A = this chain, B = another copy of it.
Amino acid sequence: MEQWHALWQGTGLVQFEWQQAVMLLICLGLLYLAIHRKFEPLLLLPIAFGGLLANIPGVEIATGDGILRQLYEIGLATSIFPLLIFMGVGALTDFGPLLANPRTMLLGAAAQVGIFATLLGALLLSDLGLFDFSLQQAAAIAIIGGADGPTSLYLASVLAPELLGAIAIAAYSYMALVPLIQPPVALALTTAKERRIRMSGQREVRRIEKILFPLLLLMLTALLVPAAAPLLGMFCFGNLMRESGVVKRLTDTAQNSLVNIVTILLGLAVGSRLAADQFLVPATLGILLLGLFAFAAGTAAGVLMAKLMNRLSRNPINPLIGAAGVSAVPMAARTVHRLGKQADPENFLLMHAMGPNVAGVIGSAIAAGILIRLAG
């Protein structure tokens, strides 16, 4: 009978607390979104499943010597996983559209207004006593506006690991929701006439330009914002492997098996931060609110910058592509393309939106470097 008692005491039935049950429901909801609605499933599915595991009472999975805890210590506490993912993203990124039209980088800069506006928003909420975010935490939350998963995870792992779970959920959920979040903002700030602006074809870009660009970007980063060099360095490394054309087997691995392996392990490690005692805190609500604001603000800033550029330049650009400056590659560019087609069925904005889209990746990595430098 003793065993029955010991096992009964060991069951989840006895040990479950309501917070864990709530977290299980939340994680099942995230799985529903990932599987049925295809919300960024590559990350959200592993994260949500990790969250399920992290909330099973009576066994060490996300704590002690449990596997999720070990994966967290190996890859997230060290920042290795986000940086390797960023290398893979670099190997998958084509800077061609950006090189064909460099001035669209300004849109990628403007959209980062969302980051810094959110920083102020978080600090304001703290000042109002609604939440209690430190400067480090506010910076880690603000980067959600960068709409770039690995950058968000990297910054959170450096500045505010205690918020990593909520920040990851917010970042990937809102990236998946870009087709819902961006249209109202972009439509409110543009006229139908502006949305019908057509953009001409892009010039072809030379191979040598594509090879030199990641080196140029790295050198400029080293000179001006070295704190962004780990992130942009790995990104540029992946991109140089890709564009050099001489290490195809490494590029293929960086784009496929390496990034996939790290994605699986990273997702589980992030999921370990969804344990009820860390996630079911008031801060999570604030993070979700601020994250939504960050996406909307970044979108608005990108669109407004595009309109400003049209005032100053003779060669007009469709202001919708400013919305792609938030990153969320390639979702934001696709959303822009769809809005453009709604205004004019023969308007093809996809390629033009890819420029600000990848510029947004650069912009938010730079912003992350600045935040590390000044808030870290």
Interface string of A240-260 (1 = CB under 8 A from B): 110011110110111011101
Of B56, B65, B222, B233, the residue contacting A233 (CB under 8 A) is B56
Residues from chain B with Cβ under 8 Å of A221 in the complex: 56
**In the complex, A34 has a CB within 8 A of chain B:** yes
**In the complex, A7 has a CB within 8 A of chain B:** yes
Residues from chain B with Cβ under 8 Å of A245 in the complex: 35
User: In the complex where A10-B373, A233-B61, A246-B41 touch, is A261 in contact with B253 (Cβ < 8 A)?
Assistant: yes
A13 to B257: give the CA distance in the assembly, Å.
38
A143 to B321: give the CA distance in the assembly, Å.
57
Stretch touching chain B among A164-172, A223-231, A336-344: A223-231
Residues from chain B with Cβ under 8 Å of A65 in the complex: 78-79
Interface residues of A in 28-49 (CB under 8 A from B): 28, 31, 34-35, 38, 41-42, 45-46, 49
Of B10, B211, B230, B246, the residue contacting A67 (CB under 8 A) is B230
**In the complex, A190 has a CB within 8 A of chain B:** no
A219 to B16: give the CA distance in the assembly, Å.
12
Q: Contact at A78–B70, with CB atoms within 8 Å?
A: yes
- A59 nearest in chain B by CB position: B226
Q: Contact at B80–A67, with CB atoms within 8 Å?
A: yes
**In the complex, A330 has a CB within 8 A of chain B:** no
Of B28, B230, B249, the residue contacting A42 (CB under 8 A) is B249
**In the complex, A53 has a CB within 8 A of chain B:** yes
**In the complex, A315 has a CB within 8 A of chain B:** no
Chain multiplicity (copies): 3
Residues from chain B with Cβ under 8 Å of A3 in the complex: 374
A282 to B278: give the CA distance in the assembly, Å.
49
**In the complex, A234 has a CB within 8 A of chain B:** yes
Q: Is the interface of A mostly helix, strand, loop or mixed?
A: helix
Residues from chain B with Cβ under 8 Å of A258 in the complex: 257, 260-261, 264
- A13 nearest in chain B by CB position: B223
**In the complex, A66 has a CB within 8 A of chain B:** yes
**In the complex, A237 has a CB within 8 A of chain B:** yes
Tell me how far the C-beta of A345 lies from the nearest C-beta in chain B, rounded to whole angstroms: 30
Q: Contact at A83–B59, with CB atoms within 8 Å?
A: no
Residues from chain B with Cβ under 8 Å of A224 in the complex: 11-13
Q: Contact at A229–B42, with CB atoms within 8 Å?
A: no
Residues from chain B with Cβ under 8 Å of A219 in the complex: 24
Of B13, B223, B250, B268, the residue contacting A11 (CB under 8 A) is B223
Question: 8 additional contacts, CB 8 Å, given A42-B250, A58-B227, A253-B257?
Answer: A6-B374, A41-B246, A45-B240, A45-B250, A46-B237, A67-B78, A87-B264, A253-B261
| 21 A-B contacts (beta carbon < 8 Å) | A10-B226, A11-B224, A24-B222, A42-B247, A42-B250, A45-B247, A46-B237, A46-B250, A52-B215, A52-B218, A52-B233, A56-B233, A58-B227, A59-B227, A66-B230, A70-B78, A87-B264, A250-B264, A257-B258, A258-B260, A258-B261
